[in-house]
A and B are shown apart, each in its own frame.
Chain A
Amino acid sequence: MVAGARRGWVKIMANVSPGADPVERVVELHLPSRLGYEKVAMDAAASVARRMGFSADRVEALRTALAEAVTNAIEHGNAHNADTRVLVILTVRPSELVVSVADQGFKPIDKAKIAPTPNIEDSFSRADKGGWGIWLIRELMDEVEFTTAPTGGNQVRMVIHLEKQP
C-alpha cells in the first residue's frame, strides 16, 4: 500500500465488504502518520455527521474524540513512522455512526492507559501532564472498543448514536 501511495495511486475499494448491510454507507480515509493531519479526519467525519443530522455539540464531541484516536495512532501505534498510514472508516447507519481508527501496530496499545480516569490534582505534581486522550474518547462517545485491526494493528471503534430530535 505504501508503495502505491508513492506512485500516487492506491486501490482502496477492496476493504469494503461486498456483503455489507445495504442500508450502510461506508467512507474510507487513509492518512499520513504525521501530527496535524488528524484534522483531515476530523473535517471528513464532521461532514458525515452533519449530513446524518447530528447536533452541533455532538459533531464537536465527535471531532474531539476522533482527534484523540488518530493522534494516538500516529504517535503510538505507528510511532511517527512516515511510511505508515492511519485508516479511518466511517460507517453510516440509520441510527448511528461507527468510526474506526486503525494503525499499523508498531507498538501495541498500552492496556494500562485504557482504563484509568486521570485526575487533575495528581497531574499538577507529575512531570507528564498528559494521559487525557483515551479518557476523553470514552467520555464523549456512546460506545468505545479497543481491538486489533484485520491488518494486525491497533483499532479503536467508536459509536455515536443518533438521538431523534424531540
Chain B
Amino acid sequence: MLDDDLSVHIREREGVAIIDLIGDVTTFAEEKITSAYNEVSRRGARNILLNFRQNDYINSAGIAILIGVVTEVNRRNQRLAVSGLSQHFQKIFRMVGLAQYIDIYQDEDEAIRGLNAAVA
C-alpha cells in the first residue's frame, strides 16, 4: 500500500546541500524531511536547498514540517532556500509567512546562483 508519495534524496552541488523532495509534502513526509535535514546539518551544511519536484500537494501538515526545519535553520544560522514550487505554493508560502525565512527560487540553477552570490 502506498502510504506516502514522497521520496527524498540528498546531494551536494557547488557548496550547497540539496535535498530533493520528489512528490507530496504531507503528514507522511515528516520523518524523511527531518532526517534528511539532520543528515546535511551533521555534514556541516551552511546553505540548504529544498528542491521540490513533481510536487502538486503540500498541506498544512507539510507546512508545519517546513516551519520545523526553518526553526532549526534559524537556530543553527544556516541559510534555507526552496526551488521548484508551483506558483500556487509560492503564494501559500508567502501567505503563511515562510517566504520571510526562505529564499524562493524558480529552479535549482537559479537557487545555486542565488545562494552562492549571497555568500560571496
Instruction: Report A's interface with B, CB cutoff 8 A.
Output: 35-36, 39, 42, 57, 60-61, 63-64, 67-68, 71, 119-121, 123-124, 128-133, 136, 139
Contact = CB atoms under 8 A, between A and B. Distances in A.
Contacts, number: 65
A150 B76 CA distance: 51
A9 to B, nearest CB: 23
A60 B59 CA distance: 12
A60 B60 contact: no
14 contacts: A36-B28, A57-B88, A60-B88, A67-B57, A67-B59, A71-B59, A71-B61, A123-B64, A124-B71, A124-B74, A129-B67, A129-B71, A131-B60, A139-B95
A35 B27 contact: yes
Interface of B: 2-5, 26-28, 56-57, 59-61, 63-65, 67-68, 70-71, 74, 86-88, 91-92, 95-98, 100-101
Dominant SS at the B interface? helix
Contact of A68 (B59, B68, B88): B59
Contacts of B3: 36
